[in-house]
């Protein structure tokens, strides 16, 4: 008998859990931290029932280390945290990048710096997600602005992580994490799930970091008879540390190539009323919700406003942003920080349009009224 779809009233954090389980996550290691704690709490109940593993670690450093180990052993693995914990994860995040270990990190953003505002929303981790770990490295960062998007962005994060052998970060903020919306969970057969490519050659032929056509080498699981070396050092194609320039350069370039040649598959953005536009709002996360309402109100007042909602934060969606700024006289970037994505918009804009910012860092949401007021101020100046 075909299973019936069911509607659920879910919190954003709960939708992240549902998305992770649907994607095949069977390992979670984490340390409780507001406002992401519900992810760990729910998975502590759900994973054991699905033959998965939940471990509460002693801190965030150990959490991501355990996640990396579980992924190397063949499991889809994740952790969830907030700003201070995300900071502690950066060194091991770099390890996962250089060792090409698939994993998912959910960062539920709150006010900072330091302990900051534990229960209030912010969007201050955007640049940390891109540049938090040292060295040249590519990274994929996704954003969600609704409960259903929390589900689907988490599924997508696992798919991208497995496909490109890389850590993927999901950024949501406290408002999205704790809001509740109804959504119909899809049936398993309705979801496209990607599992990492396994080696098809005998163990003695296996080259763990081979430079393949798509830049992504097959990944063997520890315990399957394929022995290889894993290190945080720059390594050769067999995983052993190297100081040879003819091996270092190609390796690092391959790390970037496997992402850069697939920008079209990674980039995601949603547009609203941007065909005949004078003012375009570029927003993400919960602020995109306020921005959409403000655009509707502005249109009702005869102002040609539109919205571009970023769903892929990194790599930055330059092609789509370029298309938007070329159609717009003015671009407005509202953010719950002092201006992090707006810097990227200004860089891409290159003087084509006027870029205006609306920044708020007092722990309160940017409201539709505040964005509408700024749109009207711009339109009538």
Q: What is the pLDDT of residue 2?
A: 59
Q: pLDDT confidence of 381, banded at 50, 70, 90?
A: confident
pLDDT of residue 4: 78
Q: Which residue has the higher pLDDT, 313 or 351?
A: 313
Name the pTM for this structure.
0.97
- Model confidence pLDDT, tens digit, residues 247-305: 999 999 999 999 999 999 999 999 999 999 999 999 999 999 999 999 999 999 999 99
Instruction: Tell me if the domain spanning 7-190 has CATH number 3.40.50.970.
Output: yes
Architecture of the domain made up of 272-379: 3-Layer(aba) Sandwich (3.40)
| pLDDT at site 98 | 98
Per-residue pLDDT band for 73 (boundaries 50, 70, 90) equals very high
How distant is the alpha carbon of residue 305 from its chain centre?
Answer: 27
- Phi and psi based region of residue 169 (left: phi greater than 0; alpha: psi -120 to 50; beta: remaining): beta
| 3-state DSSP percent of the chain in helix, strand and coil, to 5 | 40, 20, 40
Decide if pLDDT at 348 tops 60: yes
When mean pLDDT is compared across 38-47, 63-72, 221-230, 298-307, the lowest value belongs to 221-230
Domain with CATH 3.40.50.970 in the chain: 7-190
Residue limits of CATH 3.40.50.920 in the chain: 272-379
75-109 pLDDT, tens digit per residue, is: 999 999 999 999 999 999 999 999 999 999 999 99
Give the count of beta carbons closer than 10 Å to the beta carbon of residue 3.
Answer: 8
Write out pLDDT tens, residues 117-144: 999 999 999 999 999 999 999 999 999 9
pLDDT score for 5: 81
Q: In this prediction, what percent of the chain has a pLDDT beyond 70?
A: 99
The 10s digit of each residue's pLDDT in 147-201 is 999 999 999 999 999 999 999 999 999 999 999 999 999 999 999 999 999 999 9
């Amino acid at each position: 008998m075909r299973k019936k779809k069911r509607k659920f009233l879910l919190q954003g954090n709960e939708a992240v859990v549902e998305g992770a389980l649907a994607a095949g996550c069977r390992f979670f290691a984490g340390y409780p931290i507001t406002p992401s704690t519900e992810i760990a709490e729910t998975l502590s109940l759900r994973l054991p029932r699905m033959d998965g593993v939940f471990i509460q670690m002693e801190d965030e450093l150990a959490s991501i280390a355990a996640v990396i180990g579980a992924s190397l052993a063949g499991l889809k693995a994740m952790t969830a945290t907030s700003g201070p914990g995300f900071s502690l994860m950066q060194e091991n995040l770099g390890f996962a990048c250089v060792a090409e270990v698939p994993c998912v990190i959910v960062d539920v953003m709150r006010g900072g710096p330091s302990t900051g505002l534990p229960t209030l929303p912010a969007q201050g981790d955007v640049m940390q997600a891109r540049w938090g770990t040292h060295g040249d490295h590519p990274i994929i960062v996704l954003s969600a602005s609704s409960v259903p998007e929390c589900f689907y962005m988490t599924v997508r994060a696992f798919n991208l992580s497995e496909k490109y052998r890389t850590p993927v970060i999901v950024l949501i903020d406290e408002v999205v994490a704790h809001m509740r919306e109804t959504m119909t969970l899809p049936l398993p057969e309705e979801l496209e799930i990607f599992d990492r490519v396994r080696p098809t050659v005998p163990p003695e032929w296996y080259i763990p970091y081979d430079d393949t056509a798509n830049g992504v080498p097959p990944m063997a699981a520890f315990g399957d008879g394929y022995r290889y070396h894993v290190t945080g050092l720059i390594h050769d194609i067999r995983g052993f540390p190297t100081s040879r320039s003819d091996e270092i350069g190609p390796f690092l370039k391959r790390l970037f190539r496997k992402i850069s040649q697939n920008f079209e598959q990674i980039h995601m953005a949603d547009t609203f009323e941007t065909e005949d536009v004078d003012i375009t709002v570029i927003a993400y996360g919960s602020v995109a919700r306020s921005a959409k309402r403000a655009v509707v109100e502005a249109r009702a007042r005869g102002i040609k406003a539109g919205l571009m909602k970023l769903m892929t934060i990194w790599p930055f969606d330059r092609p789509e942003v370029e298309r938007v700024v070329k159609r717009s006289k003015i671009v407005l970037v509202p953010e719950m920080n002092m201006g992090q994505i707006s810097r990227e918009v200004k860089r891409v804009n290159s003087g084509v349009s006027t870029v205006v910012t609306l920044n708020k860092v007092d722990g309160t949401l940017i409201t539709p009224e505040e964005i509408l007021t700024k749109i009207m101020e711009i339109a009538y100046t």
